[in-house]
């Protein structure tokens, strides 16, 4: 990896974390998408913030809006405590804006509300990243690419097969990676020169600071709902700015496993959220949470270790091929191929299979659960059966995804 001189390339970050995440409902009825739990002990927001922290970029503003209190508290109680006197991981929301309570109308409009932080900074670059994806990335390598190409904006891009590219916004580029055109879900996506793959936008950007200020001010004159993908990037292409695509597949972190290279998940639907969590229990998961040279950080916990209780022939507490967090007690029940968040309790004679239990779930005696997502704090009654009978699950008012996953939430829809 290329060493970065932090004094010559100062970067501040703006993380967009205000999304409702409606396709993740009911998990997002009481929290924003970046505040949803993932991998037992983490929040989705922890992945992008860990990338910045591990990349030694520690001047970070997190822009929140939808039901933001708990997410703001999570950032304040964890991330802001790990920075130095001249560093910050700071959550800011529309209600704290001196201009009054106003919701963001587009991704670039959100930056526009807090452009003063960019203008007052002495940074050379501004990283504008989304807060709702699961991946690991050394952002310094993207900054290196941006600097080497003297770019005005660099767009993090996934290299995807041409057949899959029709689902994305696709860039056509020249041999140096400069973006020539952008097309949204094209019928015939243009391939990267010399390859049979295409560049799809990840929605993460490195801007040269003055160019970002210029484009936000110009864009706000034209569009009330100013958005990077719909407005800012096309404006920059039209005026001949240096727009480059950075190949995320070439980003390397210390001790990366072969399975991890290019791993990026948009957990925007309940099915994709379930699949990404379930990948964690694989023997060689694509996302390795045990890489201590690139850790995923979150709020520190003083919970005790997980515990199994009873080893009788008819009642045995056991976990098999599962991911179990601190504070859990498996008391005479069986857990197979599942992810258990903190402080879950699995009581006697119950069985949990191929499921995700968020923090504080209590599974009653003799209950059976399979292929389910159980929201935080839900109490499963003794003898309950979930995931075995679709009609019964629907009658109980549970959400059932296209992939057949049953979602049980304590929150009720309006």
**CA torsion, points 304, 80, 10, 13, in degrees to nearest 10?**
90
Contact present, 361 and 341 (Cβ < 8 Å): yes
H or E element, residue 374: strand 372-374
CA atoms of 113 and 14, how far apart (whole Å): 12
The reply to whether 169 sits in an annotated binding site is yes
Question: Across-strand partners of 129?
Answer: 15
What are residue 97's phi and psi, to 5 degrees?
-80, 130
Contact present, 64 and 92 (Cβ < 8 Å): yes
The reply to whether 355 sits in an annotated binding site is no
**Number of neighbours of residue 188 by Cβ within 10 angstroms:** 10
CA atoms of 249 and 199, how far apart (whole Å): 10
Interhelix angle 45-54/69-77, nearest 10 degrees: 30
Rounded (5°) CA angle 7-156-25:
115
Contact present, 291 and 332 (Cβ < 8 Å): no
Lookup result for tokens 């991704």: 107
Q: Name, in order, each residue with C-beta under 8 angstroms of 172's C-beta and a sequence gap of 6 or more.
A: 179, 180, 181, 182, 183, 190
The reply to whether 177 sits in an annotated binding site is no
Contact present, 342 and 356 (Cβ < 8 Å): no
The reply to whether 90 sits in an annotated binding site is no
Q: In what order do the strands lie in the sheet with 368-370?
A: 318-320, 334-336, 351-353, 368-370, 385-386
What are residue 336's phi and psi, to 5 degrees?
-130, 135
Residues annotated in a binding site for alpha-D-glucose 1-phosphate: 169, 184-185, 201
Residues annotated in a binding site: 169, 184-185, 201
């Amino acid at each position: 990896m290329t060493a970065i001189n932090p004094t010559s390339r100062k970067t501040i970050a703006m993380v967009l974390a205000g999304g409702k995440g409606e396709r993740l409902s009911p998990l997002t009825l009481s929290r924003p998408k970046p505040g949803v739990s993932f991998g037992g002990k983490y929040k989705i927001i922890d992945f992008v913030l860990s990338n910045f922290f591990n990349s030694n970029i520690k001047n970070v503003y997190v822009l929140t809006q939808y039901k933001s209190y708990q997410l703001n508290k999570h950032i304040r109680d964890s991330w802001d405590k790990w920075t130095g006197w001249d560093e910050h991981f700071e959550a800011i929301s529309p209600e704290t804006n001196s201009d009054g309570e106003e919701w963001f109308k587009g991704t670039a409009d959100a930056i526009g509300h807090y452009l003063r932080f960019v203008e007052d900074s002495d940074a050379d670059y501004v990283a504008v990243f989304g807060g709702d994806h699961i991946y690991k990335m050394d952002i310094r390598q993207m900054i290196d690419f941006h600097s080497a190409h003297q770019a005005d904006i660099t767009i993090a891009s996934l290299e995807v097969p041409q057949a899959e590219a029709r689902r994305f916004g696709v860039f056509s580029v020249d041999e140096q990676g400069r973006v020539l055109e952008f097309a949204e879900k094209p019928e015939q996506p243009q391939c990267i020169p010399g390859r049979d793959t295409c560049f799809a936008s990840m929605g993460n950007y490195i801007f040269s600071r003055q160019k970002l200020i210029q484009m936000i001010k110009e864009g706000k004159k034209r569009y009330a709902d100013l958005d990077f993908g719909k407005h800012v990037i096309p404006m920059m292409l039209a005026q001949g700015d240096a727009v480059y695509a950075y190949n995320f597949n070439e980003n390397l972190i210390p001790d990366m496993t072969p399975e991890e290279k290019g791993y990026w998940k948009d957990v925007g639907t309940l099915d994709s959220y379930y699949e990404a969590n379930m990948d964690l229990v694989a023997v060689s998961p694509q996302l390795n949470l045990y890489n201590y040279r690139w850790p995923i950080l979150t709020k520190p916990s003083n919970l005790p270790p997980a515990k199994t209780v009873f080893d009788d022939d008819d009642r045995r507490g056991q976990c098999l091929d599962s991911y179990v967090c601190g504070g859990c007690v498996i008391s005479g029940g069986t857990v197979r191929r599942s992810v258990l968040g903190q402080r879950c309790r699995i009581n006697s004679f119950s069985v949990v299979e191929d499921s995700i239990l968020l923090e504080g779930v209590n599974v009653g005696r003799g209950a059976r659960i399979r292929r389910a997502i159980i929201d935080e704090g839900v109490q499963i009654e003794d003898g309950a059966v979930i995931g075995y009978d679709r009609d019964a699950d629907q009658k109980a008012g549970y959400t059932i995804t296209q992939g057949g996953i049953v979602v049980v939430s304590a929150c009720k829809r309006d």
